[in-house]
Amino acid sequence: MTERGDKQTISNLSAGLKSVLLSDQLINQPRQNVEGINKHNGSNPQAASNLSLLQQQLHNEAHQQQQSRITHFFQNQPTEGYTLFSHRSAPNGFKVAIILSELNLPFTTIFLDFNSGEQRAPEFVTINPNARVPALIDHYNENTAIWESGAIILYLVSKFLKENGDCPLWSNNIVEQAQISSWLFFQTSGHAPMIGQALHFRYFHGCPVPSAVERYTDEVRRVYGVIEMALAERREALIMELDVENAAAYSAGTTPISQSRYFDYPVWLVGDRATIADLLFVPWNNVVDRIGINLKVEFPEVYKWTKYMMRRPAVIRALRGD
């Protein structure tokens, strides 16, 4: 979710998503060319045999190259810091990068090449049996591996809290932890998958299925309605607490609450600061316009909330891949 007038460098995530369709088209071109060559050489068995051998050799070299990159990493892992396995068009990977960046933890990102099947490399499947991204290795903790974005993020904030006695994105209060976790699971189970399905049926499905596009886009709107209401309630409570001299007029309805000087003040889902409950939503909010949802028009509280998070230096660094 970037404002059209901004001149910010495009995020790694946005660039990755923009290139997906183009990349798919380019991938198909060599196959089409090969089919044409095969047709041309169909009457020449020797030429066809040589071409087949060349194709196999190129395939083997590409396979060995991608295998060697992953194999080399696992055979020479760092002794400190974190390694994040991600993909340039995977919002869930950028979720983890945001939290690592916010906590100022040293990490390196390996963007896997799905086209060459790096996510299926045996070494990677060993740490993530689902063969997807993200996955994280904690080199400080005997190369402990964690997969699934929600589990990774809970691991990071829990470890940070244990080691430092406090974590700005988490809480040492069990009630707040439960509230934050509720939003975390809502994001990982309801928010991200619905946007993902809407993107799939809108751009990548083999044949048009308008009912699927409509169904998932409507569900995304329902999810944002839940967040919009929660943020609006938080804003109203904040205004009534801080704008005491006008509270009675707001309650009576004689003065619109939008006239309060606190109407654009940042509010958060849990407590009085940004936590993982909020930051988890950023990468997906950043791409939701691709399914035809305009946050600024349809969900103004979500828009303001996202805008504040997108301005955070750690978020900017993470989305750019710095």
3-state secondary structure 174-213: HHHHHHHHHHHHHHHHHHHHHHHHHHHHHHHCCCCCHHHH
Q: SS3 of 147, please?
A: strand
- Provide the pLDDT confidence category of residue 153 given band limits of 50, 70 and 90: very high
Give the per-residue pLDDT at 62: 55
pLDDT, position 252: 86
User: How far is it, in rounded angstroms, from Cα 217 to Cα 235?
Assistant: 27
Q: What number is the average pLDDT over the span 8-27? A: 48
State the first-to-last Cα distance of the chain, in angstroms, to the nearest integer.
Answer: 19
pLDDT exceeds 50 at position 278: yes
Angle between helices 12-40 and 313-320 (to 10 degrees): 10
Which of 261, 272, 260, 274 lies closest to 306, judged by CA? 274
pLDDT confidence tier of residue 245, bands split at 50, 70 and 90:
confident
Give the CA dihedral 177, 281, 105, 14, nearest 10 degrees. 170
Range in 2-16, 69-83, 178-192 with the lowest mean pLDDT:
2-16
Specify the range with the lowest mean pLDDT, choosing from 6-20, 183-197, 269-283.
6-20
Q: What is the pTM of this model?
A: 0.81
Average pLDDT over the chain reads: 87
- The structure tokens listed for 318 are 């993470």
For the chain, give the percent of residues with pLDDT over 70: 81
Which range (41-50, 68-77, 162-171, 298-307) has the least confidence?
41-50
Residue 47, pLDDT score: 67
Q: What separation in angstroms does the CA of 77 have from each of 65, 81, 148, 317?
A: 18, 10, 21, 24
- At residue 243, the pLDDT reads 87
Q: How far is CA 83 from the centre of its chain?
A: 16
Give all strands (DSSP E) within 134-281, no chain letters.
135-138, 144-147
- pLDDT, greater one: 134 or 23: 134
Q: What is the pLDDT of residue 251?
A: 86
More confident residue, 59 or 7: 59
- Over residues 187-212, the pLDDT tens digits come to 999 999 999 999 999 999 999 999 99
User: How is 98-116 classified by DSSP, letter by letter?
Assistant: HHHHHTT--EEEEE--GGG
Query: Which residue, 146, 122, 9, is CA-closest to 73?
Result: 122
**pLDDT of the residue at 36:** 46
pLDDT digits (tens, 9 = 90+) for 24-77: 333 344 444 444 444 445 556 666 677 777 666 655 555 555 558 999 999 999
Q: What share of the chain is helix, strand, coil (3-state, %, to 5)?
A: 65, 5, 30
